[in-house]
């Protein structure tokens, strides 16, 4: 097995057709996708722009559709749900179709779509997404959403968690330098992930907006077994 890690979707130069991709936007887009899937959502349609999301919801045109997402981490006016996973309760999302747009996470998901399989990963489903990826191929590419086109430590630590679960399944693998580094950082910090993220750009932005509970929620490890996978423009549960 070979594991490659990319700090941002924009830094992927290679063709991913022979790779299984795991997209990571731990704070918070992929954590929302995992939570919604765990709580019974029927499907999630990620789109790049707010206008596109509104138009898509209009075309789908029924009461099962929820418009969800954020811009600069803040709720979008007129949308049903923001990018807080705490809002995605079974009562609200079970059986519904979600049209979702987020700043960095959607872009990473769209970049990954040439891969032979695309999964959404987070701390929440680290073991489950590692298992799903491993079942589908030898070459695994983890694509972090990053923050504003840059390396974001929250995503790197989350990738480290997923890599540690991949090693639990199969200890013999090639890792590129960033994958090795992510694993080292995760192993150093796993005792207190929240403290290790103090001072980081994206985390401090969320804290300034009062989203400490979201951070706490998203940093829980292996508490969900849902694995959203992306095919033909839609995310559904791989394990279902």
Residues that bind a copy of itself (CB under 8 A): 5, 7-8, 10-11, 13, 147, 149-153, 156, 175-178, 180-181, 184-185, 188, 199-202
Measured between alpha carbons, how far is 137 from 183 in angstroms, rounded to an integer?
20
The smaller minimum CB distance to a copy of itself, of residues 75 and 151, is found at: 151
Smaller CB separation from a copy of itself, 78 or 172: 172
Q: How far is the CB of 23 from a copy of itself (least distance, A)?
A: 18
Considering the complex, what minimum distance in angstroms separates the CB of residue 142 from a copy of itself? 12
* Beta strands at 74-75 and 65-71: parallel, antiparallel or unpaired: antiparallel
Supply the minimum distance, in Å, between the C-beta of residue 207 and a copy of itself: 14
Long-range contact set of residues 130-137: C-beta below 8 Å, sequence gap at least 24: 130/162, 130/165, 130/166, 130/168, 130/169, 131/165, 131/169, 131/227, 132/227, 132/229, 132/238, 132/239, 133/20, 133/22, 133/166, 134/1, 134/166, 134/169, 134/170, 136/20, 137/18, 137/19, 137/20
Nearer to a copy of itself by C-beta: 175 or 226?
175
- Answer whether 136's CB lies under 8 Å from 116's CB: yes
Closer to a copy of itself at the Cβ: 82 or 152?
A: 152
- Least separation, in Å, of the C-beta of 113 and a copy of itself? 21
Q: How far is the CB of 201 from a copy of itself (least distance, A)?
A: 6
């Amino acid at each position: 097995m070979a594991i490659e890690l990319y700090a941002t979707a924009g830094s992927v130069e290679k063709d991913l057709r022979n790779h299984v991709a795991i997209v990571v936007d731990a704070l918070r887009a992929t954590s929302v996708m995992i939570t919604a899937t765990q709580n019974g959502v029927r499907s999630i349609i990620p789109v790049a722009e707010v206008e596109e999301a509104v138009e898509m919801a209009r075309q789908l045109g029924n009461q099962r559709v929820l418009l969800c997402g954020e811009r600069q981490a803040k709720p979008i006016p007129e949308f049903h749900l923001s990018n807080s996973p705490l809002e995605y309760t079974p009562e609200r999302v079970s059986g519904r179709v979600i049209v979702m747009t987020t700043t960095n996470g959607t872009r990473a998901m769209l970049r990954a779509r040439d891969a032979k399989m695309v999964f959404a990963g987070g701390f929440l489903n680290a073991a489950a997404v590692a298992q799903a990826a491993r079942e589908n191929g030898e070459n695994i590419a983890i694509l972090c959403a990053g923050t504003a086109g840059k390396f974001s430590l929250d995503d790197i630590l989350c990738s480290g968690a997923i890599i540690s679960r991949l090693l639990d399944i199969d200890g013999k693998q090639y890792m590129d330098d960033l994958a090795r580094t992510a694993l080292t950082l995760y192993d150093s910090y796993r005792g207190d992930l929240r403290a290790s993220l103090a001072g980081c750009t994206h985390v401090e932005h969320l804290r300034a907006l009062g989203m400490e509970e979201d951070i706490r929620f998203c940093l829980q490890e292996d508490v969900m077994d849902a694995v959203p996978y992306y095919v033909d423009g839609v995310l559904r549960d791989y394990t279902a």
